[in-house]
Structure 1
């Protein structure tokens, strides 16, 4: 399967038009015209057919991720989240269960459960 086939199948599966694909490529600062893009969707025996290179497909896939998921959060917001996770606070200022030290968390004793099984027999 060629890169052109992959691009065609993604275009059909996601119901994308040429303008949508150009906009997706712009998200990763890759500029391409609609006429250049149209050359990828032609039949292989057509005189204006162009082979889709790895770079174009890679940039399209990276742009598609941004298009579908949204842009990555800034590094500043990651630092704030890390500081909150160290203190155990959630966004609302509440302390999460992960922040409670393990020595205060009650666990079922394996020894206790084994003795119950023996006494039941």
Structure 2
């Protein structure tokens, strides 16, 4: 997640907005805990759910929403 953030040049607000595209809510505090160093007492590892939703949101962010099937 850290490498994706740097590669995409995303801020915390950008990541939160991408996650909102897939109806996943996260606070800035929770997000900052993911980006702390591993030896910090408030460090929280990035779980599969957060990463999966971020990647799905990134698809929507770059390509747009899926077209509706008729």
**Residue of structure 1 equivalent to 2:52:** 58
- Paired with 1:26 and 1:56, the residues of 2 have a C-alpha distance of 12
Runs of at least 4 residues of structure 1 off by over 6 A?
A: none
* Structure 1 residue 19 displacement after superposition: 0.3
The structure having more radius of gyration, on CA atoms, is 1
Higher normalized contact order (CA 8 Å, seq sep 6+, divided by chain length): 2
**TM-score of the superposed pair, with normalisation by structure 2:** 0.97
Structure 2: gaps (5+ residues): none
TM norm structure 1: 0.57
Larger fraction in helix:
1
Shift of 1:44: 0.3
Aligned length, in residue pairs: 70
Quote the RMSD (CA, aligned, Å): 0.5
